[in-house]
Structure 1
Amino acid sequence: MGWNLVWIIVITGLAYLFGTAGWQNCFIEKPKRLSLWQLFCIRHIGETIGLFNPTSIIGGDYIKTVLLKPTGTSPQEIVNSVLISRFLAIITQFSLFGITGFWFLTSSFNKNIPDQTLVILWILVIALFSIPLIIFFLLKRSKKLQVASALSWKFFRRLSIRLQLVLNAVLVFHQSQPYKCYRAYLYFFLHWVVGAFELFLILYFSGITIPIVLSQFMDMGIVIIKSFGAFIPAQIGIEEFGNRLLLTSAGIYTIQVWLIIALIRRSRQVFWIIFGFFAYLGLKKRLSTS
């Protein structure tokens, strides 16, 4: 790879920037004492902690709320922005997987997939593509949900109430700030699109050129597979399994390429972990001084 690794870091940094811009648009009132750079650092610190914490995104999002407290933003506004941004990040991921999935299933690259698996993929792609459309349709027509649940099992009752809290936050935000909501949706969509471009570059620098849309589909598939192992620190083993599975589905069977992708992505990860550590030290000092 040589100095081509710099392009991988730049691409992921740009993806993180789009994610930060998406989160910034999830505030009904923009924090006055918070720059885009500070928000970028806070988001990255939270995402890095979520990567290694067994609680995954729950622990990472909690750290974001803690780091935002010294900015003078109301606690409810902070919590709502974190919940809304996470919600939009998930459904934009569904959108991109659905769009690229339709392309993959109608292209010649699906010849390596067994018929039974193709049926499952069609169902998955259609379902994930439809979810964001259904959600925004309901957001336009729904009223505030009642935070209550008649479920008998305590776990599912608590889960239902928390889901209702998230949906209510998104509902209020969408109805009061529809343009901000759609703008945040666009930024999060670009976050996934640009981030998935990393896989295309790694393959390109390894001497393999594939359609960009295929690399987008493969990367979204890897992200979804990783989500099942979110409780495993850094998704060690799960990410590599996802890389191997999606490469095989695209007809790339070379072990060397799989190892290259695994090593380059882990190297990029180490760089951003170190960045997050120093960002935390600098941010903590600056916020405590102000």
Structure 2
Amino acid sequence: MGGKLVNRNWVKPLVLCIVISFIVIFLVNTDIDSTKQALRSVGFKFIYLLIITYIAYFFGTWSWHVCLGEERKKISIFQLFSIRQIGETVGQFNPTSVVGGDILKANLLQPYQIDKAKALSSVAASRITAVLSQILLFLIACLFLVFNNKHLAWVSSWGFGFAALIFLLLLIQVLFIIWISKTHSLERQQNSADASFIRKLKNRIQNLIIDIRIFYKNDRKMFWYSYFLAAIHWIIGSLEFYLILIFLGFDISILDGLLLDMSVIVFKSFGAFVPGQLGIEELGNKLMLTLVGISSATVWITVSILRRARQIVWIGIGFMLYFFYQKGCSACREVNIRHKNAR
């Protein structure tokens, strides 16, 4: 037993070292001089990009907050914002990607006396509403690409493929909603002490799916509320692409920005196992910019650098929020100890 406890004590420092290592690799592979030059090209307007992403992250946090149900009374949206940002930072630079980040989010809720099962189910539910709303917006962006005359010549030979993709995405979304709304339920699985890693992972996924179905059946209004807020999160986040290209002198529409952002996010998901999606995001930017008729290498590099610069700023904010979170947790523990001693 003592050996197990010792091993567990090494888990958090090990994960932290892995995350920091990948962030260092990310920073080393970032051309600081080019970043400065790109920042000078937009000047103080870079602040607008940070404001846009903050608003997007806030709506993403709000979408998660409503999934907590009655437990949300124990934590404010701004406190949850800090936890979400910490989890997203770790998820981005963790080999397990969003899985590790989402589990961390649930663990960071424990000092607020939020039930662990509810914390895990809320994270899963908010992730599902985010993915479903993202698929819908990607579908809208694809429709825009197919029917917009400006891009029609490029996609005319791929019309059938795009139509098939659009139909598939729509079908997946409809079938999933129908599936989670079914009345029958599965039995929650308990992990035995000698269960294998694969068995534990399978049981955890099954239990999370059950929690999502329970959440949907018990409070459909909150499910769709979270879905709506997640959609706003994606729409506002896509304005980053739109603003960068406007700053660089291109006349594009907001739907163009939505198409670019949603497509790059989908592209990045295939390389989620790559910490920070180094190279994956840049390739996605290149392909999507070409898709909307912007083939300039200079523009592609500038767009990629500005998006990475924004990312670096939020990495720093994530670390600062973790520092304040730790201080806040220490204060909470001291208050709890005093309260117990007073009894």
TM-score (norm 1): 0.92
- In structure 1, the partner of 2:207 is 165
Task: State the shift of 1:156 in Å.
Answer: 8.5
- In structure 1, the partner of 2:312 is 270
Structure 1 residues 174-224: Cα deviation after superposition (integer angstroms, max 9, x where no partner): 111111111001011111111011100000000002121121012111001
1:224 matched to 2:291: no
**Amino acid aligned to 1:231:** F
1:190 matched to 2:232: yes
1:53 matched to 2:94: yes
1:246 matched to 2:271: no
1:7 matched to 2:48: yes
Task: State the shift of 1:161 in Å.
Answer: 4.7
**Amino acid aligned to 1:76:** A
Task: State the shift of 1:239 in Å.
Answer: 0.2
Contact (CA 8 Å) 1:99, 1:129: kept in 2 or not? no
Task: State the shift of 1:165 in Å.
Answer: 2.5
- In structure 2, the partner of 1:209 is 251
- In structure 2, the partner of 1:234 is 276
Contact (CA 8 Å) 1:94, 1:131: kept in 2 or not? no
Task: State the shift of 1:10 in Å.
Answer: 0.5
> Take 1:189 and 1:165, find their aligned partners in 2: how far apart are those partners?
26
Query: SS where residue 29 of structure 1 aligns?
Result: helix
> Take 2:128 and 2:170, find their aligned partners in 1: how far apart are those partners?
15
Judged with a 3 Å threshold, the aligned counterparts in structure 2 of structure 1 residues 264 and 54 are, in CA distance, closer, same or farther, namely: same
Contact (CA 8 Å) 2:146, 2:155: kept in 1 or not? no
**Amino acid aligned to 1:68:** L
- In structure 2, the partner of 1:288 is 330
State the Cα RMSD in Å: 1.9
**Amino acid aligned to 1:191:** H
- In structure 1, the partner of 2:154 is 112
1:88 matched to 2:129: yes
> Take 2:169 and 2:199, find their aligned partners in 1: how far apart are those partners?
25
Judged with a 3 Å threshold, the aligned counterparts in structure 2 of structure 1 residues 156 and 289 are, in CA distance, closer, same or farther, namely: closer
Task: State the shift of 1:123 in Å.
Answer: 1.9
Judged with a 3 Å threshold, the aligned counterparts in structure 2 of structure 1 residues 162 and 125 are, in CA distance, closer, same or farther, namely: farther
Contact (CA 8 Å) 1:229, 1:235: kept in 2 or not? yes
Task: State the shift of 1:122 in Å.
Answer: 2.4
Unaligned runs of 5+ in 1: 149-153
- In structure 1, the partner of 2:107 is 66
Contact (CA 8 Å) 2:107, 2:116: kept in 1 or not? no
TM-score (norm 2): 0.78
Judged with a 3 Å threshold, the aligned counterparts in structure 2 of structure 1 residues 99 and 160 are, in CA distance, closer, same or farther, namely: farther
**Amino acid aligned to 1:243:** N
> Take 1:30 and 1:110, find their aligned partners in 2: how far apart are those partners?
49
**Amino acid aligned to 2:317:** F
Which stretch shows the higher mean deviation, 225-234 or 209-218? 209-218
Contact (CA 8 Å) 2:138, 2:263: kept in 1 or not? yes
**Amino acid aligned to 2:302:** I
- In structure 1, the partner of 2:38 is none
Contact (CA 8 Å) 2:285, 2:304: kept in 1 or not? yes
Task: State the shift of 1:63 in Å.
Answer: 1.3
Contact (CA 8 Å) 1:24, 1:30: kept in 2 or not? no
> Take 1:225 and 1:147, find their aligned partners in 2: how far apart are those partners?
34
- In structure 2, the partner of 1:174 is 216
Query: How many residue pairs are counted as aligned between the two chains?
Result: 284
- In structure 1, the partner of 2:177 is 136
Task: State the shift of 1:163 in Å.
Answer: 4.2
**Amino acid aligned to 1:56:** S
Unaligned runs of 5+ in 2: 1-41, 190-195, 333-343
The sequence identity of aligned pairs, in percent, is 35
**Amino acid aligned to 1:282:** F
Query: SS where residue 30 of structure 1 aligns?
Result: helix
> Take 1:91 and 1:159, find their aligned partners in 2: how far apart are those partners?
23
